[in-house]
Amino acid sequence: MLISGLKGFRRALATANKPKTAIFLMNMGGPHDLDHVEPFLTNLFSDGDLIPIPFQDQLAPWISKRRVPKIKEQYAKIGGGSPIRMWTEKQGEMLAKKMDLLSPSTAPHKSYVGFRYAAPLTEETIVQMKQDGVDRAVAFTLYPQYSCSTTGSSLNELHRILKIHDPNHKIHWSVIDRWATHPGLVNTFAEHIKTSLAEYPEEERKDVVLLFSAHSLPMSVVNRGDSYPGEVAATVSKVMEVLGHSNPYRLVWQSQVGPSAWLGPKTDDAIVGYAKKGVKNLLVVPIAFVSDHIETLFELDLEYGHLAKENNIGYKRVESLNADPLFIDALSDILDSHLKSGSHCSNQFTLRCPSCTSAKCRHTKNYFSRDTVKKH
């Protein structure tokens, strides 16, 4: 009697919380505080989609341990942890609110965050979605440009977790896998650049070099045909089009890890190179991130800010997209068009890399290839 009453109560609670559309936001995540640096790095180095290492399970904790002191120091310098969760949750809340207004037929919307290497991890979030009674969800990547090592990895993890927690496919999924050239994204970047350019004296403004900086990729990933470099370049090209090619610009690559070959030119080499060439001012634009974290706050602001100073070159960074309402408008337009289209992923998503060694470059052959889109 008591048990059935409890079950009924749980069911009623689930119905009360049940969103019509769940928005599952995917990103890498970051350590909340210094104590979480080690588990974050261990999760990251355990991911064969990101870094394939022989004997991965055994080596990942060892590699992480060696890296912890250096990376802890970096997080300490940006306030003791990554703000990525705070920004992602805020983006999600604003997006769900906006969607309720924009798309009453799919409301109420509720956002969930599923990080790959830090809390809230995919598994914990899927358990929560099941408890909320979710039966329609959109896996929405917060990497604008697709890579098998980022969005691909998040989708593979989601697939693995769903096999455990939703084996009967109670949740109907569709996927927003990339949005590198969406006009809302492009315009938001262009507006942020214009705001920063306006801070320069008029006579210097047009000579400011725009340095678009994106997270680099190992050449082994580039050479297997990963679409990320081309998609990042496409974002840059569209932004420059909107700006009317007002300034000289280059695309450069940051955050290389380890001794293997990575896609260049490196952001720090470009700073030194332009200083030597007599360029007066650089304005850095993080073009592959949608919020602040260690790569913007430590690497771009502190590390490269210092490098620029040492080399006597003017250096600023445009503000990250974070919770800019223009950016939230872009996200809601992407989601609204996706829901209205009834498609389950972009057609680019169905194509595998020509020589991808990642076992994971085959998302459409698994869960997401099913006709899982439930029409509202």
Residues near Fe ion (CB under 5 A) are: 148, 353, 356, 361
Dihedral, 220, 289, 45, 369 alpha carbons, nearest 10: -70
| Chosen from ligand L6N33NVT, Fe ion, none, partner binding at 361 (C-beta under 5 to 8 Å by type) | Fe ion
Q: Write out the binding residues for ligand L6N33NVT, residues 38-67 only, by CB under 6 A.
A: 41, 44, 50-51, 67
Closer residue to Fe ion (CB): 27 or 106 = 27
- Residue 294 sits in the site that holds ligand L6N33NVT (CB under 6 A): yes
The only residue of 139, 239, 288, 321 in contact with ligand L6N33NVT, by rule CB under 6 A: 288
The only residue of 110, 182, 238, 293 in contact with ligand L6N33NVT, by rule CB under 6 A: 293
Can you tell me the distance from the alpha carbon of 136 to that of 170, in angstroms, rounded to the nearest whole number? Answer: 8
DSSP assignments along 219-248, one per residue: HHHHHTT-SHHHHHHHHHHHHHHHTTT-S-
Check if the beta carbon of residue 192 is closer than 8 Å to that of residue 321: yes
- Residue 320 sits in the site that holds ligand L6N33NVT (CB under 6 A): no
Smallest distance, ligand L6N33NVT to C-beta of residue 212, A: 13
Check if the beta carbon of residue 269 is closer than 8 Å to that of residue 282: no
Task: Determine which one of 36, 109, 182, 338 is catalytic.
Answer: 182
- Residue 141 sits in the site that holds ligand L6N33NVT (CB under 6 A): no
Closest to 315 in 3D by CA, of 324, 323, 327, 306: 306
Is 182 a catalytic site residue?
Answer: yes
Spatial neighbors of 125 by CB under 8 A, at least 6 apart, are: 24, 112, 113, 114
| Chosen from ligand L6N33NVT, Fe ion, none, partner binding at 148 (C-beta under 5 to 8 Å by type) | Fe ion
Task: Determine which one of 135, 329, 333, 336 is catalytic.
Answer: 333
Q: Write out the binding residues for ligand L6N33NVT, residues 152-211 only, by CB under 6 A.
A: none
Can you tell me the distance from the alpha carbon of 328 to that of 91, in angstroms, rounded to the nearest whole number? Answer: 7
The only residue of 218, 243, 290, 328 in contact with ligand L6N33NVT, by rule CB under 6 A: 218
The only residue of 23, 25, 71, 328 in contact with ligand L6N33NVT, by rule CB under 6 A: 71
Sequence length of the chain is: 376
Can you tell me the distance from the alpha carbon of 144 to that of 122, in angstroms, rounded to the nearest whole number? Answer: 19
State the maximum Cα–Cα separation within the chain, in Å, rounded to a whole number.
Answer: 81
| Chosen from ligand L6N33NVT, Fe ion, none, partner binding at 51 (C-beta under 5 to 8 Å by type) | ligand L6N33NVT
Spatial neighbors of 160 by CB under 8 A, at least 6 apart, are: none
- Residue 221 sits in the site that holds ligand L6N33NVT (CB under 6 A): yes
| Chosen from Fe ion, ligand L6N33NVT, none, partner binding at 286 (C-beta under 5 to 8 Å by type) | none
Give residue 255's identity as a one-letter amino acid code: S
| Chosen from ligand L6N33NVT, Fe ion, none, partner binding at 256 (C-beta under 5 to 8 Å by type) | none
Number of residues near ligand L6N33NVT (by CB under 6 A): 25
Q: Where are the alpha helices (DSSP H) in 83-210?
A: 84-102, 122-131, 151-165, 183-197, 202-205
232 C-beta neighbours (distance < 10 Å), count: 24
- Residue 330 sits in the site that holds ligand L6N33NVT (CB under 6 A): no
The packing angle between helices 122-131 and 151-165, to 10°, is 50
Closer residue to ligand L6N33NVT (CB): 64 or 106 = 64
Would you call 326 helix, strand, or coil by DSSP?
Answer: helix
Smallest distance, Fe ion to C-beta of residue 297, A: 14
Which positions are catalytic?
A: 182, 333
Instruction: Return residues touching ligand L6N33NVT (CB under 6 A).
Output: 28, 30, 41, 44, 50-51, 67, 71, 82, 84, 143, 147, 149-150, 215, 217-218, 221, 228, 257, 288-289, 293-295
